[in-house]
Structure 1
Amino acid sequence: MIDWNDLRYFLAVARDGSTSGAARALGVNQSTVSRRIAALEEELGLSLFEKSRYGYRLIESGNELKERAIATEAAVAAFCRAAALHDEALQGVLRVTTAEGIAYGLLSPLLDEFHQLYPRMRVDLMLEDRFADLHQGQADVAVRAGRPSDSSLICRKLTDAGWAGYASRSYVARKGLPQALPDLNGHRLIAFDGAMARIEAARWLHNVAPEAEIVGRSNTILGHLMAIKSGFGIGMLPVHIGDPEPDLARVIDPLPELMNEFWLLTHPDLKETPKVRAFFDFMSANIKRYHDLLHGRTRVTGA
């Protein structure tokens, strides 16, 4: 009998094509992933991957077993969800996944209040660029931006949230404020990179200021914030991140076309569990206190 836990390592490597990527996804060391793959292959008495300096590629035997491993993963996740239905106590761990742009400056105070209300519960907050799979049991609840595309999940809209343009006060002192959107073409801009370059705020800024000088790029929200605070140029941020920063001036007000939505999501099997119900209800009730901040009503342009 193999160690069932080794199937997690097998699937992580099969999906990513490398032990380094699998290690990041699983939150372990790369050497641990390599060791567990080797142990699984030894236990099975066959090779699953073709290994090279370019990564790990599934061979025929690995491909045939991958689908069965996925089915096992789904069965284990379903087993855990069924067990959770019998947990009537508001205690233990609740795994919540979200992106750093939602968590920063918003979830921390809310989670602190949640812990005070439910001291026997512990929220494990997972900040991830990728979407943790709720069907595979990688998290219990997700807080995500944008309207959900998976209709099979239980979804509840939390709030709308705006984006605005910001620059450091030192940059404004040197370059001044743009008086109209076309004036951005004469300013230095900080752009997004990687997957972040596909978000609506990034595309909008490129469209309204195609001739502007791009002086830096960042593939994360917090990297973007640091670049703007350093005085490099003007960049876009969620208003709940940009407005509270005393060293930043808002140079572009929130626009209706850049309003985003925050949603709570969970698997249908978990919607009636006490912990998930408590978290959904708490977040829905208490996010209302942050509506002014999320809509950009807490300060004015150039303040």
Structure 2
Amino acid sequence: MHICMDWKSITFDWNRARAFLVTAEEGSLAAAARSMGMTQPTLGRQVAALESEIGFDLFTRRGRGLELTPNGIKLLEHVRLMGDAANQFSLSASGKSDVIEGDVSITASELLSTFMLPPMIKALRELEPGIEIEIYSTNEQRDLNRREADIAIRSVRPTQPELIAKRLCSVRGHLYAAKSYLQQLGYPPSIAELNKANFIDTEKPGRLMTLLNSQGFSLTRQNFPVISNSHIVQWELVKQGMAITATVEEIGDNEPLVERVVISNLPLITIDLWIVTHNELRTNPRIRRVFDFMVSEFAGD
């Protein structure tokens, strides 16, 4: 593709070019404005002024985010080289090298955010103190295409072509209950005995009842006297000896107040975890750094 423009008629303004570069890397004016420490309207005016100067659009709007036009993609290659050169100049002048700074948002389920991510984030911050992390702890799926998060940890591989996904690991889930509750039940030796126990799920009837009944249980709504849409609340109720629930080994086996409900040696379920980001953000240095670091941490490298 060839872009035709009269460069002699353009008065180059690096601030406008940088506004374009950061907006392209961040994927939205709001995120770019936060990264550059300016207001969104000011940043928008700089990008619009650059578009007016060169005579073509650089972005098209997609949901809450922006998508580069074909001309924008072509121009980005040149502006990114200019940005790299400017960064190297700044680093050399300040005596720094290979510094990565800025915000990165990560979304993951409540359980992963509470029990698995904190030591990883601590290690990341020690290595990259310039990267500031925002964690969205939610069981709802945030839309990466709309830039509702930069990186997601999910239990289902995405199918959207705009998203990049890498398998992290497999986690195995089991039934767990407080030791006090298992003693109260007399350590049930069979599924038939467990059909008399109380369980906790997110709704009535919920996925846990469906899963267990598919594996030979005969549970009804009466087996679920307490429900909560929060997995953290569920886990606390289990620790208090209220009922039984399912969780992954990395969480259940590390809690001294609970035990596995052992009917067989087989796991209740095996789940693959995936790390996901938007393909445009994969070229952002700090997004790439966090993405690769999380892959390494889950692999135990």
Task: Give the letter aligned to residue 246 of structure 1.
Answer: P
Tell me how far apart the structure 2 counterparts of residues 178 and 146 of structure 1 sit (CA, whole Å): 33
| Aligned match of 1:228 | 238
Shift of 1:257: 5.9
**Aligned counterpart in structure 2 of residue 275 of structure 1, from 280, 286, 290:** 286
**Aligned counterpart in structure 2 of residue 210 of structure 1, from 218, 223, 234:** 218
In 2, are the aligned partners of 1:162 and 1:255 still within 8 Å (CA)?
no
In 2, are the aligned partners of 1:97 and 1:143 still within 8 Å (CA)?
yes
Tell me how far apart the structure 1 counterparts of residues 183 and 122 of structure 2 sit (CA, whole Å): 38
In structure 2, relative to structure 1, the CA distance for the partners of 1:281 and 1:76 (3 Å cut) is closer
Task: Map residues 178-217 of structure 1 onto 2, 5 A cutoff.
Answer: 178-193=188-203, 197-198=206-207, 201-207=208-214, 208-211=216-219, 213-217=223-227
Task: Give the letter aligned to residue 100 of structure 2.
Answer: L
In 1, are the aligned partners of 2:65 and 2:145 still within 8 Å (CA)?
no
**Aligned counterpart in structure 2 of residue 77 of structure 1, from 66, 71, 75:** 66
In 1, are the aligned partners of 2:168 and 2:272 still within 8 Å (CA)?
yes
**Aligned counterpart in structure 2 of residue 100 of structure 1, from 110, 124, 127:** 110
In 1, are the aligned partners of 2:108 and 2:138 still within 8 Å (CA)?
yes
In 1, are the aligned partners of 2:174 and 2:268 still within 8 Å (CA)?
no
Task: Map residues 95-134 of structure 1 onto 2, 5 A cutoff.
Answer: 95-134=105-144
Tell me how far apart the structure 1 counterparts of residues 151 and 143 of structure 2 sit (CA, whole Å): 10
Task: Map residues 1-303 of structure 1 onto 2, 5 A cutoff.
Answer: 72=61, 74=63, 76-78=65-67, 89-193=99-203, 197-198=206-207, 201-207=208-214, 208-211=216-219, 213-252=223-262, 255=266, 258-289=269-300
Tell me how far apart the structure 2 counterparts of residues 244 and 264 of structure 1 sit (CA, whole Å): 24
Tell me how far apart the structure 2 counterparts of residues 150 and 93 of structure 1 sit (CA, whole Å): 24
Query: Which portions of structure 1, spanning 4 or more consecutive aligned residues, are displaced by more than 6 angstroms?
Result: 81-85
Deviations, residues 178-231 of structure 1 (Å, cap 9, x unaligned): 22333321322223317x934xx5521244322463332222211210121121
In 1, are the aligned partners of 2:173 and 2:248 still within 8 Å (CA)?
yes
Unaligned runs of 5+ in 2: 1-59, 88-98
Q: Secondary structure at the match of 1:158?
A: strand
Unaligned runs of 5+ in 1: 1-70, 291-303
| Aligned match of 2:50 | none
In 1, are the aligned partners of 2:182 and 2:188 still within 8 Å (CA)?
no
In 1, are the aligned partners of 2:107 and 2:138 still within 8 Å (CA)?
yes
In structure 2, relative to structure 1, the CA distance for the partners of 1:254 and 1:270 (3 Å cut) is farther
Task: Give the letter aligned to residue 129 of structure 2.
Answer: P
Tell me how far apart the structure 2 counterparts of residues 168 and 75 of structure 1 sit (CA, whole Å): 45
In structure 2, relative to structure 1, the CA distance for the partners of 1:256 and 1:90 (3 Å cut) is same
In 2, are the aligned partners of 1:144 and 1:264 still within 8 Å (CA)?
yes
In 2, are the aligned partners of 1:77 and 1:135 still within 8 Å (CA)?
no
In structure 2, relative to structure 1, the CA distance for the partners of 1:202 and 1:243 (3 Å cut) is farther
Tell me how far apart the structure 2 counterparts of residues 151 and 181 of structure 1 sit (CA, whole Å): 43
The two structures have a TM-score, normalised by structure 1, of 0.63
Deviations, residues 84-125 of structure 1 (Å, cap 9, x unaligned): 975875101011111112212100000000000101111111
How large is the RMSD of aligned CA atoms in angstroms? 2.9
Identity of aligned residues (%): 25
Q: Secondary structure at the match of 1:188?
A: coil
In 1, are the aligned partners of 2:174 and 2:247 still within 8 Å (CA)?
yes
In structure 2, relative to structure 1, the CA distance for the partners of 1:254 and 1:100 (3 Å cut) is farther
In 1, are the aligned partners of 2:61 and 2:67 still within 8 Å (CA)?
no
Tell me how far apart the structure 2 counterparts of residues 256 and 248 of structure 1 sit (CA, whole Å): 16
Tell me how far apart the structure 2 counterparts of residues 112 and 211 of structure 1 sit (CA, whole Å): 42
Number of aligned residue pairs: 216
Moved more, 239-248 or 153-162: 239-248
